[in-house]
Structure 1
Amino acid sequence: MPTPHFLWYNGTFIRNDKPIVSANNRSFRYGDGCFETMKIIRGQLVNEALHMQRLFESLASLSFSLPSFFTPTYVAQQIKQLAQKNYHTTLARVRLNVFRGNGGLYDPENHFPNMVIQTWELNPANQLLNENGLVIDIYRKAQKTTDTFANIKSNNYLGYAMAALWAKEQHLNDAIILNHKNTVADTTIANLWCVTDGIVITPPLSDGGVNGVMRKHLLQSIPAAGLTCLEKSITDAMLAKAEAVFLSNSIYGIRWVQSVGDYKYNWGITPVIHESCIMPVWQ
């Protein structure tokens, strides 16, 4: 008989097939909350400090009232305990979701950070740079805002969810989300980068993309590898002229893109970035 798979909910381990929220849940009703997606390698959270920094900044922005025990150390400990219970310590994906709980739009019961943690085992191939480039395109039915909450991994994920459905219907690997200026914000599950004249470029956070942890890591590690890296708005014209395009997130590091619509690319310097900036984190 297979070992039961558990999730963690407010201090308790629960079988992952058991319901844990009511129809009055504010995250279910309004998308009130945020989440983190993290990676475990050999029992340790990759870029743990950066993930905890982003999580607690998001909780402050969303006006949660944190009890004294609710610290970065506490959260990280619960993640690792769940991974151990699920035998997911070698290589695993973690999703942590925080939400406000029950209540109407104007009358939440409280501002306590209810938390759910889940883990899943990852295939070792996840550690490798993709051999076949991703095929992606621009989703034009949604535009990302550039307001105070745009950079948070919010539970309000409608635009991304619709873009992901569209990408699947179109047999694409991902979809680009634009902002109201028609420049790139990000994609459904990643931050986007392009390489032009040897310069690595990613949109600034003011263009509405999620404040990715791997994005932050790359902004520090790419210059350390001797490459020029800029935060600059990415337009359709820039995608047309780019030498290479790649995506980044905390689970797969980076993946190179073969095409954006009719625009075609090759590996470019993506293998160099993977070897010098991603592999040291994985090891």
Structure 2
Amino acid sequence: MINLNGTILDSSATAVENNRGFLFGDAVFETVKIVNNTILFSEEHYFRLMASMRICRMEIPMNFTLEFFEEQILNVAVASNVQDCGRARITFFRDSDGFYTPTDNKVGFVIAAQEVSHKEYVFTDSFYEIELYKDFYVSKHLLSTLKTNNKMINVTGSIFAKENDYHNCILLNDDKNVVEALNGNVFMKSGTTIITPPIADGCLNGIMRKQLITLINKMDGFECIEKSISPFDLQKSDELFISNVMVGIQPITKYRKKVFETVFSKQLITILNANITN
């Protein structure tokens, strides 16, 4: 392996050079939040990871149980001194030789952990503007719903947002319908109905998305449905917000000429925190 200066690196570099996650994006991952030495939504993360590995035809180790999953992540969290309030990413890659066709489907995994600022999800209604990202589109198929290392559309979209002073962007699918934000699922409030794109439209099968759908449908007077969203629907809505496990709920305050309220987002994040602590 040679670096950009033409210097030949030592053989230890082959650990990266031969990693299929690095070479082909042949990897799936989960990012979890850790609070008081406990992984939030641990079971949901574990089963989504298992489902992703099966879809990608990876061989799941017999010893990789839910308990083993939790133990490995928390061991790294303790070693990194972030067990009280942290985030960890566990990445499974196909640990195999071969070009596009692997010689076998055995896997390896790596875990990295770092500190985060808040144990509870924090509500903020500070200015948060979004725009559509239309350079590339999300395909409506099962792989789009997984957390894989193939995130180039999210990377290029984030660069577009940064260059144009937006806080986030909305991704569209081949039908030009709303799929998700660059870093989470999208929810749209219209009256007493909260709408989020269906998995069939290509959105990530988000852990927080699932939690919020359940919580909203338990709230008096509100209903959450999964339905395709047109970009034109966004400006007609009362409220927009983004969900992911690390942030919880991120209210959107502006999209083009429309300024949104954040009342429901604030109410929902209070309920979310209450459910986590109980």
| Among 216, 229, 232, the residue aligned to 2:227 | 232
The residue that corresponds to 2:48 in the other structure is 54
Q: In 1, Cα distance between the equivalents of 2:87 and 2:14?
A: 21
Matches within 5 A, 1:1-283: 21-124=15-118, 127-226=121-220, 227-281=222-276
Moved more, 73-82 or 261-270: 261-270
Change in Cα spacing, 1:93 to 1:186, as seen in structure 2 (3 Å) is same
1:125 Cα deviation from its structure 2 partner: 7.9
Q: Which residue of 2 aligns with 1:13?
A: none
Question: How much does 1:21 deviate?
Answer: 3.3
Counterpart CA distance in 2 for 1:113 and 1:269 is: 43
Give the paired residue count.
266
Whether the 8 Å CA contact 2:121–2:269 is kept in 1: the answer is no
RMSD: 1.8
TM-score calculated relative to the size of structure 1: 0.89
Contact residue 29 and residue 89 of structure 2 kept, 8 A: yes
**Structure 2 vs 1, CA of residues 104 and 90 (structure 1 numbering), >3 Å: closer, same or farther?**
same
Distance 2:276 2:219 in 1: 14
Q: Separation in 2 of the partners of 1:243 and 1:19?
A: 52
Cα pair distance change 1:282/1:264, threshold 3 Å: farther
- The 8 Å contact of residues 18 and 97 in structure 2, kept in 1 or not, is answered as yes
Decide whether aligned partners of structure 1 residues 127 and 268 sit closer, same or farther in structure 2, where only a CA change above 3 A counts: closer
Q: Which amino acid aligns with 1:249?
A: N
Partner SS, residue 124 of structure 1: coil
Gap change, CA 1:21 and 1:222, over 3 Å in 2: farther
Percent identity, aligned pairs only, is: 26
Residue aligned with 2:16, SS:
coil
CA contact (8 A) 1:197 1:243 kept: yes
Unaligned runs of 5+ in 1: 1-17
Give the secondary structure class of the aligned counterpart of 2:15: coil
* Structure 1 residue 102 displacement after superposition: 4.3
Of 46-55 and 116-125, more deviation after overlay is shown by 116-125
